[in-house]
Amino acid sequence: MDILFKKTGVSDNEALIVGIYDNLTFSKTAKKIDTENKGALTEALRHTSFTGKKDDVCRLFLQNRELLCIGLGAKERADALTAERAGARAVNALADEKGSVAFAADDLPPAAVGFGAKIASYRFTKYKTEREADFALKEFYVLTEKAQAAQNAYEPYFCVAKGIHTARDMVNEPANVMTPAAAAARAVELEKYGLKTEVYDEAMLKAKGFNLMTGVAQGSNNPPKLIVVQWRGNPDTEETHAVLVGKGVCFDSGGLSLKPAQGMEDMKFDLSGAAAVLGTLQALAMRKAKVNVAGVMAMVENIPSKTAQRPGDIVKSLKGLTVEVVNTDAEGRLVLADALTYAQERFKAPVVIDLATLTGAILVALGREFAGLFSNDPALSADIKAAADATGEKLWPMPTDESFDKQIVSYIADIQNTSTEGRMGGSCTAAAFLKRFIDDGVKWAHLDIAGAAWNNKSSLFGPKGGSGYGVRLLDRYIRDYVENKTDG
C-alpha cells in the first residue's frame, strides 16, 4: 500500500477518514461535513456509542459517501503518536476496501498519519496460494494543505517503515527458509542502500575462537554465520559511534535441554534481535543518517542431534572466560557473549546496545508489549527510555546487581549459563551473564525483547507474527542522541 499526500480532492467512490476528538469535538473536515449536511454527522453519531475517545471507530454513510470516524481522545494531548495510531486504525477498518481511501489530517501531523497507516498495512502472504490473501487497499491518501512538506517529512518515516518490514519478514519466514545463510543473504541484499556487509562462516569462527557461538550451533546442519553490517554516514571520522548486537537464533528448540512441543513453532522468532539490528541499519542507510553505526548479528540454530552440545559441557569463550553450559536452552546469552566480545574489540564504540529474545521470564515480568531494559549507564538508559517513549515502543528499566552476578558462578568453570537459584529473576541473571562480557568504560544496554518481538494475534500496527520491535526506538535513539551529538 502506497502513502500519498495531496491537498484536496476526494473522488466519489473513495472512503473519507476524519478524526474526532473527545466529546464529539470535530476536526476541521468533520465540522465541514457536518455543516454541509445540516448537522447530519452529529445526528448520525448520536445514535452510536462513538464519542471520539481514543480507539473509537465508527463507519457510516453520509450522502452516498463512506465516512470513517476515528476517535483521537483529548485534543490537547494529541501528538505524533495519536496520528500514527489513527492512521493505523483507519487501515485496520478499511483493509478490504478496493482502490484508495483518503484521511483528512487537519491538525494531526500528516507524515505520522501516513507512517501509522504504512506499518499497519504490512502483510506476510507469500505462502498463501489463494488470491484473497492479498491486501485490497492500494493507495492511502493523506489530505493536507501542505502536501509537499508532508511528503518531505514522510521520507525518513518511510525508511523506518522499510526497516520494520525487513525485520518482520525475517522473523515471519519459517526456520526451514530463514537459516543463518539465508539471513546473511538478506543482509547482503541491503548493500544496495550503501550498507557494508561481511559474513564470517563456521571455519572462521572456529579459527578465531567463537567457541560459545559454534558450540550452540554444533547440533545443526545449518552452520552459524556472524554477520557484520556497517552504515558509515559520517565520513569525517573513523569512529564508530554505536554498535548494535542482535541475537540471531534462527530456531530455538532448546537443544538437548529440549523445549516442550506446545508453542515451539513460534521459536522461529528467536532471531528477532538480529532482525531488528538489520532493520535499523537499513533505516539509517536509507535516510542517510550522518552517523557511523555497526550491526553484529550472531546467527545460529539450536537443535538437538548426536553432535549437539551437552548439558555440563565447558566451553572457552572468545573473551577467555570459561562457561559451564548447564542448560542448552539458555543459548542466547552464549551466542551474544561472543558477539559482544567481538563487537567491542572490533569497533571500540562508546555505546553498545544488544537486543535479544533472551528469556521467557521477561514475559512473566512485563507481558507481551514491554521490553526489559538493562544497562550499566544511567544516562544511556534514560536516553533509550526517552526514545522508546517517543516512538511508542514500550520498555521498562530492569536491575543489574551484584546479587545476580553471584548467581552465575559455576562450581567448576568461571561462570555458568543458568542461575544457581533457579528460575527466580531469570531475566536479571541472563543480563548479569551478558554483563560479564562488557569491558570497563563501555556504555552498554541490553533489551530483552522476548515479549515485544512477537504479536500472538493481530494488533493495531500489524498482523500476528513478528512485530519489528526495536527498529523504531533504535532509529530514534540514534537520531536524537547519537547523530545530533556528532554533528559538526
x/- letters, 159..188, toward ligand BES (CB under 6 A): ------------------------------
Binding site for Zn ion (CB under 5 A): 249, 252, 270, 332
Piece in contact with ligand BES (CB under 6 A), picked from 190-198, 228-236, 328-336, 341-349: 328-336
Q: Please give the residues from 325 up to 354 whose contact with Mn ion meets the rule CB under 5 A.
A: 329, 331
How far, CA to CA in Å, does 425 sit from each of 45, 310, 371, 400, 420?
50, 24, 15, 11, 11
Closest approach, Cβ 330 to Mn ion, in A, equals 6
The answer to whether residue 202 forms part of the interface with Mn ion (CB under 5 A) is: no
Of 252, 287, 15, 2, nearest in space to 153 by CA: 287
Q: Please give the residues from 265 up to 294 whose contact with ligand BES meets the rule CB under 6 A.
A: 270
Closest approach, Cβ 317 to Mn ion, in A, equals 18
Residue whose CB is less far from Zn ion, 292 or 467: 467
Closest approach, Cβ 450 to Zn ion, in A, equals 8
Of 438, 246, 240, nearest in space to 349 by CA: 240
x/- letters, 443..462, toward ligand BES (CB under 6 A): -------x------------
Q: Please give the residues from 335 up to 364 whose contact with ligand BES meets the rule CB under 6 A.
A: 357, 359-361
Q: Which of 97, 106, 329, 354 binds ligand BES (CB under 6 A)?
A: 329
> What type of residue sits at position 174?
P
Helix (H, G, I), strand (E, B) or coil at 142: strand
User: What does 327 bind: ligand BES, Mn ion, Zn ion, none (CB cut-off 5 to 8 Å by kind)?
Assistant: ligand BES
The Cα diameter of the chain in Å comes to: 82
Helix (H, G, I), strand (E, B) or coil at 178: coil
The Cα–Cα gap between 310 and 328 comes to 7
Number of residues that bind Mn ion (CB under 5 A): 3
The Cα–Cα gap between 147 and 138 comes to 19
Q: Are the beta carbons of 51 and 126 closer than 8 angstroms?
A: no
The answer to whether residue 332 forms part of the interface with ligand BES (CB under 6 A) is: yes
Strand boundaries in 162-241, DSSP class E: 196-200, 225-232
Number of neighbours of residue 461 by Cβ within 10 angstroms: 25
Q: Are the beta carbons of 151 and 145 closer than 8 angstroms?
A: no
The answer to whether residue 324 forms part of the interface with ligand BES (CB under 6 A) is: no
Q: Which of 56, 169, 202, 252 binds Mn ion (CB under 5 A)?
A: 252
The Cα–Cα gap between 360 and 283 comes to 29
Q: Are the beta carbons of 304 and 219 closer than 8 angstroms?
A: yes
User: What does 360 bind: Mn ion, Zn ion, ligand BES, none (CB cut-off 5 to 8 Å by kind)?
Assistant: ligand BES
Closest approach, Cβ 270 to Zn ion, in A, equals 4
Number of residues that bind ligand BES (CB under 6 A): 14
3-state SS track over 13-34: CCEEEEEEEHHHEECHHHHHHH
Active-site positions read 259, 333
Closest approach, Cβ 246 to Mn ion, in A, equals 15
Catalog residues that contact Mn ion under the rule CB under 5 A.
Answer: 252, 329, 331
Where do contacts with ligand BES occur on this chain (CB under 6 A)?
A: 252, 270, 327, 329-332, 357, 359-361, 418, 426, 450
